[in-house]
Structure 1
Amino acid sequence: MTRNYDLEEIYATPLEAFTIWMKQSGYTNATKKEYLREVLDYLHTLNERPVQEAGKLQVVGFLVSKQGTAGDKTRNRTLSAIRSFYAALIDFELATRNPALEVKKSKTEKNKIPVYLEENDLEKALSYIEGRYRDRNLSLFLLMGYCGLRVGEVHRINLPHFKKAKGTLEVLGKGRKWNEIPLPELLVQCLSKVEKERIKPNSQREEAFFVSQKGRRLSIRQIQKIATQIFDELKKNNPHLMDMKLSCHKLRHSFATMLLNNNVDIRVVKELLGHASIETTMIYTHINDEQKRNAMTTIIVPQVAIPK
């Protein structure tokens, strides 16, 4: 079997192009690492064949070979990695077609209803944020749960991005696209306090808004750990949430659901979330049980004799 370092030599140019393309596109370090791993696994199956000659058959064959150990979500992420790989090659004129685009994503994953917290549970979570860094951690949670920011977007916030006078925040999202988000007044006040009490970074050139106690930019892993601690306390005191798999991204789901439940135009929700397509935003247009019950109360069933 061809070893990874042999593959990196055989496919040196395509892999270099992909690495540069992902960095230029603003992919997180975690995504870059995982996508490169998936692409190397895919290249193993080509048997040193040029990537330009591979077609839909090779992509499907690779996905099928992983079916025994991967679910729908993993399959779709693997497919996304290969799609991105070929997109990079096309961008750098190293390929003319993307065979991975000819392969459909799993319908099970596509139709899955996002997990989210109801508005009252989201509010309860705020009461479990305490301790020495309460203001900082509260701001992190509010940005994800009440502004819909991705954890990577929160991680990348710099001091100049917070426009206190305007009450807005400039966010660098996927694809290195900038989005200006209007902030709730309470969050403006909270961020202002965090900015004032911000720990002095070790480096004079560091502009990170959220700084760790060690004087470095708060990492994505640290933000996730803070959120997990809050979720653990929330679940401990609210048994109905015990089996719910909560994460930073579930706060984004909660924000989107809250907006749509409050009848905000889906086009506005799309812009606030920074989605490229409104189809992505559509997954949040799910209907909850209470809405179903309320709908059924509007139905008047005629008085008829019920057979005994």
Structure 2
Amino acid sequence: MTDLHDFATAVPTDFREWVQGRPAEPELSGDDWLARLPHWTAECADAWDLRADGPVWHGVCAVVIPCHRAGEPVVLKISWPHEEARLEHLALQHWAGRGAVRLLAADPSHWAMLLEPLQHDRNLNDVNLLEACEVIGGLMRRLDRPATPQFTRLSDEIDRWIPLCRNGSPLVPRRLTEQAASTLEGLRDGCDGRLVHQDLHFENVLAGEREPWLAIDPKPLSGEWAFAVAPLLWNRWTEATRADNLRAHLRLRLGVVAEAAGIDEDRALAWSLVRLVTNALWEAQEPHPGQTELSQWITVAKAMTE
């Protein structure tokens, strides 16, 4: 494919099937978004003078198209409209390529960004686990900077999560939900103000040309970096299940990241418990909760408390 105006047939089938029939987001339903996607892609191609250069690939919530602009390789990313992606371009603008993928241009009305190319098939899953944790801790240090007022504040999320935990669910142990609610009350002070990548796990760090590793897909908020450690506990799960002592294995991950990032290990532990319990509660609210996911959230949460 060389012409982004022919994009209609290029969306990967598995991604199309994931989007189709999804309920309406604040912007569009899944079917409406797919219908508009070829037009949006063509408009971005015209505005940024792009020529496609290779097959379309995708993450969980976006399509990504390798392109050329004036002979230089670039990447066009168009996200499924959802709240966590709304200010992704602004976070990347603030980081300006220091520890994160470089933003070249953005069109928020189309949920589109033009980015530097990275090696999308090489991430930190390919690196020794503890070395990968150190890399991510180092990226946390590099990405740390004051948050601007546009970003959601972590303290505002606390106001939503405390009632969620107090209401609980028959599918989630009550001692965990009560401990999470109590923990949240003690985390409010000092939890806002830093621009945080809240989904900085192993697959969201890709190999680059100008730097060995760069963060992608930030899902930004105004918070504290201790909040960002939790995804490193539930990813690369197979390695955790093979550990002789799950609790020791997960606590080692947390400790390595906290030391490399220069963050307080106790707060990282507390925030990890909260995120695991709230994940379990949200899963429990689904019409057909995934038992595998629910069991994993609960298992890791217990490892944070025992």
Common topology (TM > 0.5): no
Which structure is higher in strand share? 2
Select the structure with the greater relative contact order (CA < 8 A; seq sep ≥ 6): 1
Which structure is higher in helix share? 1
**TM-score, normalized by length of structure 2?**
0.27
